[in-house]
Structure 1
Amino acid sequence: MLALVFVNVVINYMDRSNISVAGTALSKDFHLTSVQLGLVFSAFGWTYALLQIPGGWLADRFGPRPVYSCSLFGWSAATFFQGFVNGFSGLLFLRLLIGAFEAPAYPTNNRIATAWFPDNERASAIALYTSGQFVGLAFLTPLLVTAQHFFGWRGLFIATGLVGILWSFCWHLFYRDPAKHPAVNEAELTYIEEGGGLPQRRQKQSTEAPKKLTWATARQAFTSKKLWGIYIGQFTINSTLWFFLTWFPTYLVKYRGLQFLTSGFLASLPFIAAFCGLLLSGFASDYLLKKNVSAGIARKTPIVLGLLLSTTIVAADYVSGSFWIIFFLSLAFFGNGLASITWVLVSALAPKHLIGFTGGVFNFIGGLASVIVPIIIGYLASSGNFKPALFFIGVLAFVGACCYIFMVGEIKRIDGEDVATDFVLQNQPALNNEA
């Protein structure tokens, strides 16, 4: 099941980032300015962020198998049709459509991890499937660049879209939840459940209707200080990620003067570094937890260290030569990989009946980076100087580290009582004044 999710993530990130490989050629063919190109890069994020909360609700309501099947097919078809656009508006529309169909993906991923893995294995599982976003790009970026070199940007979109369409049928054929999988026995369900996983067999066997989503229940996802800590932190983590997913190849070619094919191979190195950082973070975090280190230290330490390392992206502004440029960008993205196990905190903190919904809120706020950051970078770099853009990314990474240090606090699942207590404590002075 984890391997299936891994492939989903590889295709997910291939289809959201292939626009960066095609960016230079598209900009030339359609005569796009840097601001227009920034809008194209960010268009995916508009619908992706907006539909995160509905996407999380869909994952809770209908389950991973049908939701992911439709999602995969939809975004892959939109990717395919990008190969036939004839201008800025058509490209913008299809990027919006890809964002809409990809919206349920990560809340669904998190629901799958929560259903299949106990607490002390979940960071490793999340690291493994999330690594698909880095390892896929690390090894596929040179391939995508080469494909565009020989077949053009239209051929690039058509080929990547077809891959996803075919895989959507494979997913529907092979994926099952734990309680419905024919190879899962009672002992494994018990192991998952006693370890803190939620295989949902009680819900399956119960005649009680699932709890409806109302403001009274949904407010728990919005009124906790620690949840807001991970929400804001995810925005800052995604800010670094979206620089690499959108502007990075253009930065190397246009602002650093590297050749297109050369930049394709060099661009893979930071993704390999991020892949290594993510796996190190996931396995180290679970190892510490199994050694009875507190969940706060085991889960938050890699994230904070990773965000602090991500600030070194600023150093790329002050070096020359391709080696040092790639070195500092790789170091920053290694840190971003270390910090990318954040979904494990959604599993650990979210109310049990709101795993998908909380994941939707988490990814909605994180997804705003895909809307805001590419546009801001386009404006900051419009004068031909990229230094302010990298400084902007570095500052956001530092803000994220502060959120995890000062806001998240103890790693403990939120319930109604916790939220009420949290609200009272935060508003105690006002309550005393009213008294």
Structure 2
Amino acid sequence: MTRPTAPASIRRRQRSALIMLVIAGTLNYLDRSTLSIANPLIRNELGLSIADMGLLLSAFLWAYAFAQLPGGALVDRVGPHRLLAAGLGLWSIAQAVAGFVTSFWQFSIARVFLGLGEAPMFSSAVRVVRDWYNVRDRGLPTGTWNCTSSLGPAIAPPILTVLMIGFGWRWMFGIMGLAGVVVAATWFLLYRDPTEEHFTDEERHYLTDGEEPRSQAPVRLAEWLGLFRFRTTWGLVLGFFGVVYMGWLYLAWLPGYLEMQRHMSIPKTGLVAAVPFAFGVVGSIGGGWIADWLMRRGFSPVNSRKIPVIVGLLGMVGFTVVAAETPSDFMAVAAISAALMFGASASGMSWALASVAAPANCTASLGAIQNFGGYLGGALAPTVTGFIVQASGSFTPALLVSAAIGLFSALMYLVVIRAAPITVAELDAVAGVDTARPTVQGP
């Protein structure tokens, strides 16, 4: 089929939106990393055990996970323009407030609000790509904004370690909160949803060619509930559970692993911990390029995304086992780097899969439902890891448990997610809504 070319006006909107998503996503992961980087200092000052820190790390994740369910539907109804700006503002204020806490419970409350504020970030991003890119071109931009899940942690150790050593861990939280308020204001002033724009026929053709007509109506409760009646939805939920579990084990505990298991100093950890996440940037962008390449070679929109996810998960599993078993510090860091490269590809293409697996007006909803399943795994990973390490005195069994969960999730992607996307007619049928509702050929 002929591949439509984006008009210059659309390309400008794409570039500006993608740049802002990368900045916001990077900040998102910098803010998530602050607690991990300051782990030893916070434990000493507040008198927390390793298990307490695992629970504290998970406080953000439980709030983030459960906020996904309403958050995705709100993105589809309100639009990323307003909702992402509000979320950015909320999480940045919560981040700044964390610099003033004096107890475990105060810190837990701040982390809960951080999770609530960050909840719309990636469902907004997947909706932005669905709105502004043709179906054949969504893999690479999805991989690009998703690379922030590796870029943020890659630059977090050196940046946050410098701030922490120079100003103290409390000021580190405050500075990051102020930066987030600036990013929130920038997004609100510069980004526009497609419903706020007027399109020419050429622009509309590029945005919708290759897909069924889009519904004019925002997602309704019956449609949102109807998504749960499809096996693809459950495949995404169960599959993403393992992707995020494995990713969050490293995100939450890699600095602690290097210090406790590999006996590295805090300054050295700040440098070494950045290396594996830098490889994740390559994996996320590379996975997006491969997905678009597969679709241009005739693979379906779903399969062109599902294959990189499965390969990525299997690669992450294999290299995590190597990291668990090797006595060499160099080999452990190299294996973790490879694991995070494959894992970032799996993560990015899971989001790209959500962008083609359901009707356009349900994109953020399906992506958020998937992310809910993922962050149930993400919320368990720090706590389970903390208890395993405290009980065994080693990270090795925690890494092996993570690998087993990843293998299960790869199987879910392989056998549960069907090759065809959920259509408007199918969703209308299970939701019991009017199948004659109006549709349009443009956003």
Specify if TM > 0.5.
yes
CA contact (8 A) 2:95 2:177 kept: yes
Counterpart pick for 1:192 among 188, 207, 211: 207
Counterpart pick for 1:71 among 71, 87, 94: 87
CA contact (8 A) 2:87 2:117 kept: yes
Residue of structure 1 in register with 2:3 after alignment? none
Residue of structure 1 in register with 2:178 after alignment? 162
Residue of structure 1 in register with 2:287 after alignment? 281
Partner deviation per Cα, 1:354-396 (whole Å, 9 max, x = no partner): 2222222111111112221111111111131211110111111
Amino acid of the structure 2 residue aligned with 1:405: L
Residue of structure 1 in register with 2:45 after alignment? 29
Residue of structure 2 in register with 1:292 after alignment? 298
Does 2:103 align with 1:96?
Answer: no
Residue of structure 1 in register with 2:268 after alignment? 262
CA contact (8 A) 1:350 1:413 kept: yes
Does 2:358 align with 1:342?
Answer: no
Specify whether residues 372 and 419 from structure 1 end up closer, same or farther in structure 2 by C-alpha distance, changes over 3 A only: farther
Partner deviation per Cα, 1:20-68 (whole Å, 9 max, x = no partner): 1011111111111111000110000111111111101211111111101
Q: How do residues 305-384 of structure 1 correspond to structure 2 at under 5 angstroms? A: 305-311=311-317, 312-340=319-347, 341-383=349-391, 384=393
Percent of residue pairs bearing the same amino acid type? 29
Residue of structure 1 in register with 2:4 after alignment? none
Partner deviation per Cα, 1:334-373 (whole Å, 9 max, x = no partner): 1101212211111111233322222221111111122211
Residue of structure 2 in register with 1:133 after alignment? 149
Residue of structure 1 in register with 2:256 after alignment? 250
Q: In the comparison of the two structures, how many residue pairs are matched?
A: 411
Q: How do residues 198-209 of structure 1 correspond to structure 2 at under 5 angstroms? A: 203=216
Counterpart pick for 1:406 among 415, 425, 429: 415
SS for the counterpart of 1:412 is coil
Give how far 1:197 is off: 9.1
Does 2:88 align with 1:53?
Answer: no
Residue of structure 2 in register with 1:41 after alignment? 57
**How far apart are the structure 2 equivalents of 1:51 and 1:417?**
27
CA contact (8 A) 1:316 1:328 kept: yes
Partner deviation per Cα, 1:385-417 (whole Å, 9 max, x = no partner): 211110111111111111111111314234453
Partner deviation per Cα, 1:242-265 (whole Å, 9 max, x = no partner): 112211111111222111111111
CA contact (8 A) 1:35 1:379 kept: yes
CA contact (8 A) 1:119 1:197 kept: no
Residue of structure 2 in register with 1:120 after alignment? 136
Of the structure 1 ranges 407-416 and 308-317, higher mean CA displacement relative to structure 2 is found in: 407-416
Specify whether residues 103 and 254 from structure 1 end up closer, same or farther in structure 2 by C-alpha distance, changes over 3 A only: same
Amino acid of the structure 2 residue aligned with 1:221: L
Amino acid of the structure 1 residue aligned with 2:267: L
Q: Structure 2: where are the runs of 5+ without partners?
A: 1-16, 431-443
**How far apart are the structure 2 equivalents of 1:62 and 1:255?**
46
CA contact (8 A) 1:179 1:189 kept: no
Counterpart pick for 1:271 among 249, 270, 277: 277
**How far apart are the structure 2 equivalents of 1:70 and 1:224?**
31
SS for the counterpart of 2:138 is helix
CA contact (8 A) 2:73 2:224 kept: no
CA contact (8 A) 1:10 1:133 kept: yes
Amino acid of the structure 2 residue aligned with 1:402: L
Amino acid of the structure 1 residue aligned with 2:226: Q
Q: CA RMSD in A?
A: 1.9
Q: Structure 1: where are the runs of 5+ without partners?
A: 204-209, 422-435
Give how far 1:87 is off: 1.5
Of the structure 1 ranges 254-263 and 134-143, higher mean CA displacement relative to structure 2 is found in: 134-143
Partner deviation per Cα, 1:94-122 (whole Å, 9 max, x = no partner): 00110011112221111111101111111
**How far apart are the structure 2 equivalents of 1:249 and 1:77?**
25
TM-score (norm. length: structure 1): 0.90
Amino acid of the structure 2 residue aligned with 1:131: C
Residue of structure 2 in register with 1:393 after alignment? 402
Residue of structure 2 in register with 1:427 after alignment? none
